[in-house]
Structure 1
Amino acid sequence: MTTTPFQKASAWIDAENAQDPNSETYQSVSHPKELLYSNRMYQRLMDFYPEASEAVQIAAKAQHICRWKMPRESYPMDRVGYLKWREDLKKFHAKLTAEILEKAGYSEEFIARVSFLIEKKLLKKDAETQLLEDVICLVFLEYYLDPFVHKHDTEKLKNIILKTWNKMSDKGHEEALKINFSAENLQLIKESLGL
C-alpha cells in the first residue's frame, strides 16, 4: 500500500495535535482540543468546497497545529499583545507545517503555498486564502460561538460576529445561514448584522 505525501502529512499533523493536553468534550466524548478543531476544519472544508486543492486541505488541517505551545497568557493581555500573539501564531503554525511537509516529500513551491495560506495572506484577493477564511469563520460560528456567548456581553458579541461576517465571502454567508443555530444565537446574529 503506497502512502501518498498527503496521507503522511495528514497523519503527522494529527499526531502533533493529538498531543494537546487540553481536551474538549463533544457528543459525550473527550478529544484533544486541537485535534478536534483540525478535524472540524477539514470536514467543513470538504463539505463546503469538495474540490479544494491539496494545499488548502493541509492548511485547513494545520490551522491551529500545536497552538497550546504558544498560550495567549504569554503575551501582554491588551490589544497590542493580542495582535502580536496572533501574528506570531500564524508564523509558528506555518513553520511547523512546513517542517512536516518537507519530511513528507512535498516541493518547496507547494510548502511555500501552504505557508502563504496559513499566514492568511492577501485575504479577499487570493481565492484560496478567502476559502480558508470562510471555513475558519464557519467552524467558529458552528462550534465556538455558543461558548463565547456565555463569556461576553452582548455588545462585544455583536462586534465579534460582525468582524467574523466581514471576513467572509458571499458564498460563506449563504453557508453560515444554513447552520443550525439556537434560536437565541440566530437572533443575536441577525441583530449584529442588522437583518
Structure 2
Amino acid sequence: MTRFLKVIAAIDDINRQDPRLELHNGEHFPKEYLYSLRMSQMLQLYDKDADELLKIAAHGQHIKRWIIPRSDYSMDRKGYLSWRTQLKLMHGSLLRDIMQTHDYQEKDTESVVNMVIKKKLKSDEPTKKLEDVVCLVFLQYYFKDFATQHPTQKVLDILRKTWNKMSVKGRALAMELDISDDSKKLISKALTDSD
C-alpha cells in the first residue's frame, strides 16, 4: 500500500468506530465512516484530478467527530461556534498525527490541517474546493432531514449561507444534484428571496 492509501485506511479504521449508525441502501453504516465515503465520492465528481492532500482532507473532514458532542456546549450561537472550533482543531490534530506516522512532510501535513480548519478559506484554492465539497455533500445527503427539523426561516437562512460559501463551479454542480422536489423548492425560494 502507498502511504496515501495507508492514511485513508487509518481514517477509515477510526471512523468505523463511530457508535452512531446511519441507514443507507438497506445497510447500517457508522455515521462518520459513511460521511467520509460520501466526501470522497463527491470530491471525485467535483474534481477527478484532485491531489492526494485534498483527498485526505476530504476523507478526514469529520474524523472521530462523535467524541465531542454538541450537547457539551451551550445551545446558542456562541456554544455552536465553540463546538465547531474544537471539532476542527481535533480533526486537524488527528490527521496531522496519522500523516506524520506515514512519513508525510510537515508542509504537506500542515496543508491538510489548514484545509480542514479552513484557515485560508478566502485565499487558498484547495480549501475553497474542500468547502464546495462539504456544501455539496450537505445538500445531497443531509439537507432534506435538516429541513424537516428546523423552522423554514432558519432553513432558508442556512441555504443562503451555504450558497454564499460556494464557488461558481460548486453552485453549478449543486443545481445538478439528485435531491427531492421539496429541497429544490426551498433552494429556489432561498435564492429568489436573497436577490
One fold, TM greater than 0.5? yes
- Shift, 1:110, TM fit: 0.7
Quote the residue 1:182 is aligned against: 180
Quote the residue 1:13 is aligned against: 11
Q: Distance in 1 between matches of 2:108 and 2:96?
A: 9
Query: Which of 125, 128, 141 is the matching residue for 2:126?
Result: 128
2:149 partner SS: coil
> How do 1:142-157 residues align onto structure 2 when only pairs under 5 Å count?
142-157=140-155
User: What TM-score results when the alignment is normalised by the length of structure 1?
Assistant: 0.97
Quote the residue 2:56 is aligned against: 58
Q: Distance in 2 between matches of 1:77 and 1:183?
A: 31
Quote the residue 2:168 is aligned against: 170
- Shift, 1:75, TM fit: 1.0
1:138 partner SS: helix
Code of the residue aligned with 1:62 in structure 2: it is: G
> How do 1:23-172 residues align onto structure 2 when only pairs under 5 Å count?
23-172=21-170
Q: Distance in 2 between matches of 1:122 and 1:133?
A: 11
Code of the residue aligned with 2:133 in structure 1: it is: V
Code of the residue aligned with 1:30 in structure 2: it is: H
Quote the residue 1:193 is aligned against: 191
Q: Distance in 2 between matches of 1:152 and 1:84?
A: 21
Q: Distance in 1 between matches of 2:115 and 2:35?
A: 17
User: What TM-score results when the alignment is normalised by the length of structure 2?
Assistant: 0.97
- Shift, 1:29, TM fit: 0.7
Runs of 4+ in 1 over 2 A off after TM superposition: none
Code of the residue aligned with 1:185 in structure 2: it is: S
Q: Distance in 2 between matches of 1:20 and 1:65?
A: 10
1:120 partner SS: coil
Identity %: 45
Q: Distance in 1 between matches of 2:134 and 2:171?
A: 12
The CA RMSD over aligned residues, in Å, is: 0.9
Q: Which runs of 5+ in 1 are unaligned?
A: none
1:96 partner SS: helix
* Deviation sequence 1:95-143 (CA, Å, 0-9, x none): 0111111111111111111101111122131111000000000000000
- Shift, 1:53, TM fit: 1.3
1:122 partner SS: coil
Code of the residue aligned with 2:162 in structure 1: it is: T
